[in-house]
Structure 1
Amino acid sequence: MTQSADTVPEAGPPLARFPMRRTCPFSEPGEYAALRADEPVSRAALKVNGKPAWLITRHDDVRQVLGDPRVSSNLKLPGYPHQFHIPEELLAQVRLMLLNMDPPQHTAQRRMLIPEFTARRVRELRPRIEEIVEERVAAMLAAGGPVDLVTALALPVPSLVICELLGVPYEDHARFEEWSAAMMNHDLSPEEYGAAVQALDGYLDQLVTRKESEPGDDLISRFLEKNRAEPVADHADVVTMARLMLVGGHETTANMIALGVLALLEHPEQLAQLRADPGLLPNAVEELLRVFSISDSGTARVALADIEIGGVTIRAGEGILALNNAADHDETVFPDPGMLDLHRKEARAHLAFGYGIHQCIGANLARVELEAVYGILLRRIPGLRLAADPDSLRFKDDAMVYGVHELPVTW
Structure 2
Amino acid sequence: MATTHTLVRQVMGDHGRFSTRRRWDPRDGVGGEGIFRPRELVGNLMDYDPPEHTRMRQKLTPGFTLRKMQRLQPYIEQIVTERLDAMEQAGSPADLIEFVADQVPGAVLCELLGVPRDDRAMFMQLCHGHLDASRSPKRRAAAGEAFSRYLLAMIARERKDPGEGMIGAVVAAYGDAATDEELRGFCVQVMLAGDDNISGMIGLGVLALLRHPEQIGALRDDERSAQRAVEELLRYLTVTYSPTPRIAMQDVTIGDQLVKKGESVICSLPAANRDPALTPDPERLDVTREPVPHVAFGHGVHHCLGAALARLELRTVYTALWRRFPTLRLADPAQENMFRSTTPAYGLTELMVAW
Structure 1 length normalisation: TM-score?
0.77
User: What amino acid sits opposite 2:195 in the alignment?
Assistant: H
CA RMSD of aligned residues (A): 2.4
1:176 is displaced (CA, Å) by 4.7
Matched, 1:342 2:279: no
Q: Report what 1:75 is aligned to.
A: 22
Matched, 1:163 2:110: yes
Matched, 1:369 2:316: no
Rounded to whole Å, the distance in 2 between the matches of 1:187 and 1:355 is 30
Rounded to whole Å, the distance in 1 between the matches of 2:260 and 2:137 is 29
Quick one: which of 130, 141, 146 aligns to 1:199? 146
Q: 1:234 to 1:117 in 2, by over 3 A?
A: closer
Contact kept, 8 Å, 2:152 with 2:184, in 1: the verdict is yes
In the alignment, structure 2 segments of 5+ residues that lack a partner are 27-36
Q: Report what 2:12 is aligned to.
A: 66
Q: Report what 1:131 is aligned to.
A: 78
> Comparing 268-277 with 63-72, which one deviates more in the overlay?
268-277
Matched ranges for 1:179-190 at <5 A: 180-181=127-128, 190=137
Q: Report what 1:357 is aligned to.
A: 301
Matched ranges for 1:259-298 at <5 A: 259-275=204-220, 279-298=224-243
Structure 1, residues 281-332: CA drift from partner, whole Å, max 9, x if none?
1010001001111111124221111121112111111111111111001011
Q: Report what 1:331 is aligned to.
A: 276
The percentage of aligned residue pairs carrying the same residue is 40
Quick one: which of 295, 309, 324 aligns to 1:380? 324
> Comparing 294-303 with 199-208, which one deviates more in the overlay?
199-208
Contact kept, 8 Å, 1:182 with 1:193, in 2: the verdict is yes
Rounded to whole Å, the distance in 2 between the matches of 1:319 and 1:142 is 50
Q: 1:100 to 1:311 in 2, by over 3 A?
A: same
Q: Report what 2:186 is aligned to.
A: 241
1:272 is displaced (CA, Å) by 3.8
Rounded to whole Å, the distance in 2 between the matches of 1:126 and 1:344 is 26
1:407 is displaced (CA, Å) by 1.2
User: What amino acid sits opposite 1:58 in the alignment?
Assistant: T
Matched, 1:222 2:222: no
Quick one: which of 375, 383, 401 aligns to 2:345? 401
Q: Aligned with 1:337: secondary structure?
A: coil
Structure 1, residues 135-157: CA drift from partner, whole Å, max 9, x if none?
22122222222221112111222
1:170 is displaced (CA, Å) by 4.5
Q: Report what 1:9 is aligned to.
A: none
Contact kept, 8 Å, 1:76 with 1:92, in 2: the verdict is no
Q: Aligned with 1:302: secondary structure?
A: strand
Q: Aligned with 1:405: secondary structure?
A: strand
Q: Report what 2:32 is aligned to.
A: none
Contact kept, 8 Å, 1:301 with 1:320, in 2: the verdict is yes
Structure 2 length normalisation: TM-score?
0.88
Q: Report what 1:87 is aligned to.
A: none
Matched, 1:313 2:313: no
Contact kept, 8 Å, 2:62 with 2:166, in 1: the verdict is no
Q: Report what 1:30 is aligned to.
A: none
Q: Aligned with 1:94: secondary structure?
A: helix
Matched, 1:257 2:207: no
1:159 is displaced (CA, Å) by 1.5
1:232 is displaced (CA, Å) by 3.9
Matched, 1:94 2:40: yes
User: What amino acid sits opposite 2:314 in the alignment?
Assistant: L
Q: 1:120 to 1:211 in 2, by over 3 A?
A: closer
Contact kept, 8 Å, 2:241 with 2:268, in 1: the verdict is yes
1:357 is displaced (CA, Å) by 0.5
Q: 1:263 to 1:144 in 2, by over 3 A?
A: same
Structure 1, residues 7-29: CA drift from partner, whole Å, max 9, x if none?
xxxxxxxxxxxxxxxxxxxxxxx
Q: Aligned with 2:338: secondary structure?
A: coil
Contact kept, 8 Å, 2:62 with 2:173, in 1: the verdict is no
Rounded to whole Å, the distance in 2 between the matches of 1:194 and 1:269 is 47
